[in-house]
Amino acid sequence: MKIKDLLDLLPLKVVVNGDLEREITGGCVSDLLSHVMARGKDGNVWITIQSHQNIVAVASLLNFSAIIVAGGVEIDDKTIEKAKKEGINILTIDEDIYQVAGKLYSLGI
């Protein structure tokens, strides 16, 4: 499944459009950056409530297909700026991490 397909299935808002054609290889859920560094894989979507600019560095280093910032958290301007520069997809959603992860899982991701 591609990121753009996800947009039709969940009430996601595209905050930064890096490359919506990216293929999703799996998912990763954590707010601790080092845990994400240790476990995240190429092409994963990462669900978190962190919204500061360091999430872009982590997503870029691990080549994530998107960051989903859940729980209705607002994204910092600096994060948006950096994500645009790095071509990282950032999506937001009002639902909590638990619900988002559950839905993605049931979609086969």
Residues found near another protein in the complex (CB under 8 A): 31-35, 37-38, 41-42, 48, 50, 52-58, 60-62, 78, 86
Half-sphere exposure of 100 (CA within 13 A, CB side): 27
- Least distance from C-beta 25 to another protein, angstroms? 12
Closer CB to another protein, 6 or 40, in the complex = 40
SS (H, E, C) the chain: CEHHHHHHHCCCEEEECCCCCCECCEEEECCCHHHHHHHCCCCEEEEECCCCCHHHHHHHHHCCCEEEECCCCCCCHHHHHHHHHHCCCEEECCCCHHHHHHHHHHCCC
Closer CB to another protein, 6 or 45, in the complex = 45
- Least distance from C-beta 54 to another protein, angstroms? 6
Closer CB to another protein, 8 or 77, in the complex = 77
Closer CB to another protein, 2 or 52, in the complex = 52
- Least distance from C-beta 99 to another protein, angstroms? 21
